[in-house]
Amino acid sequence: MTDWVPAPSPFLARAVFLSLILIAACCAMAGATPKHPGAGGSSDQFQAKFQEWNTLYKQALVGTNRPEARADTLLLIANDALAAWLVLLDRFYESPPSVYAADAGWQRDLATVTGYLEIARRDLASGRLAEAHRALGPVRSVLLDLRRRNGIAYYGDILFEYHNVMERACDPIIADPDSVTRPSLPDIAGRVRAARTVWQHVLGFGFTPVHESEREKHRDLIARETKALQQLEAAVTSGDLASIASAAQEVKAHYRELYLAFG
């Protein structure tokens, strides 16, 4: 996965335009017209619907970053993700949970996400995995900004922050292992230290899954990523050039599992 930055304005404009079409269609099917947002939505209901969508979204996001993946299989997931998001939209677009009730950007942000999901769905229908991945990536940033504006601490957001700095350390190594030379080690070491710093924020977040079986899985995934990051740092520090690329791949692989399970 890449380090996502705000999309170019024409891309964002397309996302918003498509979202307005979809929202209007939802309102028409429901016999409603868009209203200004008001309080009254249930936070528990919203979280349940959000997690149903988020599970599908993560599968689509990770899957579109795998060149060997099948676009037709991912299209089915993307269709389900968009359908789940539209269910959430139908329930909460006009009546957000109380924690978001005063947020003037609520409808704008939900509309923006809707547009990105539709762009990704269309790209997958045309077999364009990389373009679909590019469309799905900014969704995380939109939702992160929405939560932060409203003082909501979310585990997936700190995982996303770690993802960005971790990939700045690992991606150049994985893409070109021959670029790992002794003169490049100080720069690599700095990037790995930055990743370790943000990883400490993940460890300090205090996330605990509800069910004991999930707690065991979370502890295991955290331990794997911690070990992989330590091994990468040790390889860089000792100048073990042969081990650095494989260690970077381990860091990314274990993060991917953690994000899919708990992001």
Question: How many Cβ atoms sit within 10 Å of the Cβ of residue 156?
Answer: 18
Any idea what DSSP says for residue 126?
T
Whether residue 160 sits in one domain with residue 36: no
Does residue 98 register a pLDDT over 70?
Answer: yes
pLDDT for residue 20:
52
What is the residue range of 160's domain?
A: 155-262
Whether residue 212 sits in one domain with residue 255: yes
Whether residue 129 sits in one domain with residue 58: yes
- Side chain identity at residue 62, one-letter code: V
Whether residue 138 sits in one domain with residue 68: yes
| Closest alpha carbon to 133 in 116, 146, 145, 108 | 116
Whether residue 134 sits in one domain with residue 71: yes
**What are the CA-CA distances from residue 221 to residues 103, 147, 217, 258 (Å)?**
35, 25, 6, 6
Whole-model pTM: value is 0.81
Structure tokens at 205: 């977040």
SS (H, E, C) 214-259: HHHHHHHHHHHHHHHHHHHHHHHHHCCHHHHHHHHHHHHHHHHHHH
Whether residue 126 sits in one domain with residue 20: yes
Give a yes or no: residue 217 inside a domain: yes
Give a yes or no: residue 2 inside a domain: no
**What are the CA-CA distances from residue 239 to residues 170, 173, 185, 211, 230 (Å)?**
16, 14, 7, 42, 14
User: How many structural domains compose the chain?
Assistant: 2
Whether residue 125 sits in one domain with residue 15: yes
Whether residue 133 sits in one domain with residue 104: yes
Residues with Cβ within 8 Å of 119's Cβ and at least 6 positions away in sequence, in order, are 11, 14, 15, 18, 132, 135
Tens of pLDDT, residues 21-70? 555 444 444 444 344 334 446 889 999 999 999 999 999 999 999 989 99
Give a yes or no: residue 4 inside a domain: no
Whether residue 184 sits in one domain with residue 257: yes
Contact 50, 109 (CB under 8 A): no
Structure tokens at 152: 């909501």
CATH assignment at residue 255 = 1.20.120.290
Tens of pLDDT, residues 125-164? 999 999 999 999 999 999 999 999 999 999 999 999 999 9
Structure tokens at 57: 């979204």
Over residues 87-111, mean pLDDT:
96
Structure tokens at 19: 């979202």
Q: Identify the top-confidence range among 6-10, 208-212, 235-239.
A: 235-239
> What's the CA gap between 258 and 227, in Å, rounded?
14
- Side chain identity at residue 76, one-letter code: L
Does residue 1 register a pLDDT over 90?
Answer: no
Give a yes or no: residue 35 inside a domain: yes
Residues with Cβ within 8 Å of 136's Cβ and at least 6 positions away in sequence, in order, are 57, 60, 61, 64, 116, 117, 120
Whether residue 183 sits in one domain with residue 130: no
| Closest alpha carbon to 74 in 61, 53, 62, 60 | 60
Does residue 225 register a pLDDT over 70?
Answer: yes
